[in-house]
Amino acid sequence: MSPIDARSPTVAPSPAYPASPSASAVATLSGGVPPEPAPTVGASRPARRYEGRAVAIAIGACVAALGLALGAAHLMRLAQVRLTPNPRAPLPLAALAPLPQLDMPTYVRGRALFVATCATCHGPAGTGVPGLGKDLTHSLFVFERRDSVLVDFIRKGRDAADPLNTTKVAMPPLGGNPDLTAADLGALVVFMRGLQDPRRVPDVPEVSAPVVVAVKEPTDKEKAEALEAAGGDAERAEWIASGRKLFVASCASCHGKDGLGMPGLGKDLTTSEFVHRLSDDDLLAFLLKGRDPSDPANTSKIAMPPKGGNPALSEDDLLDIIAFLRSVAKTPGDSRKPQP
Ligand code: HEC
Ligand code: HEC
């Protein structure tokens, strides 16, 4: 029914983008992507049928000149962009006719995954969070890479020691969420394409429901571990299992999936004196607030975002996460209960 369904049967991985900037220029020219010159050629054809040849030629010449000028403007904009190594330069996309529309359900799924896993560092709109992740809406890296290359990139991340790393902050493998599937990665790439060229996703539905956290159900082994950690208390075991899921989705990007911390990002929470010292209520208050780099208590000069950057987490969710943190705490004598 919608133009989206009709025009975009293909989803990632698709060769929607050429591999290199030079290829992109070639594709643009040979594919006749610039919209303005194309109709002018067609328009000059019926002119030939006029009796007054001179009039026709004059009109044709004007139209052709206009077409050339527009074409040249396109080329100049492309050239400018390619010569500027600044990733915040306007995307060449803005100067091109829109690419085919993206599959809306895939885009919406990608958006939910992005908000849950990537937004902590890249911001919910992909424009980046200072000191954490980069702006992806203007990233030439994203623009120039094929879908399959981007999927690979997300899978591997980019270590702070990687020569390609420009910020000295790590992009963790899978954004720190080991539960992302190949289909999830494809949807994330579709979402990033839409971020870069919103014309490909007209009429995007509003984000209505709270963000669904994309994680697998706990395995039997994890359930057994949770039960053991809860000292056989089945209800507490459920909180721990749920907390583990939520932690992997919202906190693992910086603290690692077992809470052991990530170099240059979040701290080890299993041995944290701070976690050990605080009651569940105080820890909840901390998680709601986070710890800004400007906070005197901040030791790393990296932000701990409120709710770990996932506004969809409820207080109950956070309490489950706290139950999980208690269960992995190594500090001896931890009561795993609110301190009296
Ligand atoms: C813990 C923070 C963090 C999370 C979570 C994170 N990223 Fe990143 N990401 C980064 C950092 C830092 C960089 C820049 C690394 C550098 O300096 O080259 C980056 C770079 C990127 C780039 C390359 C951009 C460029 O122009 O070089 C892409 C694409 C990307 N991230 C996508 C994602 C996606 C998709 C997710 C979610 C699955 C995600 N990131 C989750 C921190 C993060
Ligand atoms: C974007 C990265 C990031 C995310 C996501 C994140 N944290 Fe943090 N967290 C940090 C950083 C950085 C610190 C250390 C701040 C400092 O230097 O004091 C920190 C500190 C903490 C501390 C205090 C530890 C201590 O010893 O001072 C706790 C507890 C904590 N985080 C829990 C969580 C939980 C739970 C989540 C998920 C809901 C989460 N964090 C998500 C980056 C993050």
Decide which of 253 and 56 is more confident.
253
250 close to ligand 2 (CB < 6 Angstrom): yes
Looking at the structure, do residues 269 and 305 belong to the same domain, yes or no? yes
Looking at the structure, do residues 224 and 315 belong to the same domain, yes or no? yes
> Is 336 part of a structural domain of the chain?
no
In terms of residue numbers, what domain contains 64? Answer: 34-95
Number of domains in the chain: 3
Tens digits of residue pLDDT in 239-287: 999 899 889 888 887 888 889 887 777 889 999 999 999 999 999 999 9
Task: Show which of 169, 200, 231 is a domain's final residue.
Answer: 200
CA distance 225 to 205: 40
Q: Which residue has the tokens 């390619």?
A: 82
Looking at the structure, do residues 157 and 235 belong to the same domain, yes or no? no
Q: Give the mean pLDDT of 209-216.
A: 49
Looking at the structure, do residues 79 and 132 belong to the same domain, yes or no? no
* Confidence (pLDDT) at 273: 92
Looking at the structure, do residues 227 and 322 belong to the same domain, yes or no? yes
Q: Tell me how far the alpha carbon of residue 334 lies from the centroid of ligand 1, in angstroms.
A: 36
Decide which of 93 and 120 is more confident.
120
Looking at the structure, do residues 224 and 299 belong to the same domain, yes or no? yes
261 close to ligand 1 (CB < 6 Angstrom): no
> Is 22 part of a structural domain of the chain?
no
What is the phi-psi region of residue 90: left when phi exceeds 0, alpha when psi lies from -120 to 50, beta otherwise?
Answer: beta
* Confidence (pLDDT) at 170: 87
Tens digits of residue pLDDT in 169-192: 889 999 988 889 999 999 999 999
> Is 194 part of a structural domain of the chain?
yes
Looking at the structure, do residues 227 and 283 belong to the same domain, yes or no? yes
> Is 253 part of a structural domain of the chain?
yes
% of the chain residues with pLDDT over 90: 30
Looking at the structure, do residues 89 and 113 belong to the same domain, yes or no? no
> Is 209 part of a structural domain of the chain?
no
Task: Show which of 95, 126, 143 is a domain's final residue.
Answer: 95
Nearest C-alpha to atom 31 of ligand 1 is from which residue?
Answer: 171
> Is 13 part of a structural domain of the chain?
no
Q: What does DSSP assign to residue 294?
A: T
CB 104 within 8 A of CB 2: yes
Q: Cα–chain-centroid distance for residue 37?
A: 35
Looking at the structure, do residues 85 and 111 belong to the same domain, yes or no? no
> Is 340 part of a structural domain of the chain?
no
> Is 147 part of a structural domain of the chain?
yes
* Confidence (pLDDT) at 61: 58
Query: Does the global pTM surpass 0.75?
Result: no
